[in-house]
Structure 1
Amino acid sequence: MRLRKIHPRGSLSPCMTVGEIITEGLLVHEPQLAAREREEAAIKALEEVGIDPVMRNRFPHEFSGSQRQRIAIARATVLKPTVIVLDEPTSALDRSVQKQIINLLRRIQESHGLSYIFISHDLAVVKVLADHTIVMKTGRVVEEGPTEVFRDPKSDYTRASCARPSILRTC
């Protein structure tokens, strides 16, 4: 089986408004909520990610890549999870927008008390968000420990990864 990366553009239904996309999970996980309560949850989630709630009746194609990423984050956080899996959440974004999304994720992590499982090839981005890091190569763990592992990497692979240019120089 081959896995493919799903970017926010492809994961947001073009047939649904942003408000519907954000509240879709509430229909399943909190079916007792009235339509007005779901709408209020969408408004709050959009405000939290920096999108004007007035835009909730628009469709995904009307938003930039950065805004679609924020919508995907709102869709995840509206359910009030304790853990979110982030698979390369900044890879399709330019460097200045990557920084904005990282700062947004940090703020949301702190305000919601969230844990992230953050999957990325960009170790510098991982360092910004992670407390504990597992470095893998071809499906095997090559190094693990507190994120300070980047200060003194033990494996050649981690050292080489730290040498690559990144948006945030951390190694």
Structure 2
Amino acid sequence: MSIFKNLFAMMVLLGAILFAFFFKLNLPFSGNQKIESFEYGKRTKEESLLAFKCFGFTNKCELEKIGLTLVMSFDGARIKKPNPNFLNISGWGDRDGWSMIMHYFGHRELAVIDRQGKEIAKFRQLLWNTSGYSDFSQTIAFDLAAKKLYVSNSNIGFHSALEKAYVVPF
């Protein structure tokens, strides 16, 4: 009877590992800041260029003009998983063999730090078994006239004219 218990336990463990390997989750950033509507399309060139100084999956971005430092970090595992290219039936691109795509398992954090080195806001995002993420510059937007930083409330970043976003005054 104990051999069946061991076999059952191994099958449950294998099922849990397979579920964790194939289950995907990409949540939006979460924080305890106020959420407002934000017109993403009505930004000035200066505000757009300021956001583009911060780029990549993780990075540290010092914005001396407005007195903020933004730090995007990741805590977790990065695993390259195989991707079958021969399933590409569109006729475009590589269709012969396998490629490797980086997948993320963990939390990405965005910390907003003022001139005195005090952390004024922190946001977390859960990424589980996903290769898709929003770039640093896609998750933030500035309103220099109102002295506000907006952090996207979407898992793919800002993507339309009118958005809901967390507000961090500076």
- Which is greater in Rg? 2
The TM-score range, normalised by the shorter chain, is under 0.3
Going by fraction, where is helix more abundant, 1 or 2?
1
Give me the TM-score of the superposition, normalised by structure 1: 0.22
- Greater relative contact order (Cα 8 A, min sep 6): structure 1 or 2? 2
Give me the TM-score of the superposition, normalised by structure 2: 0.22
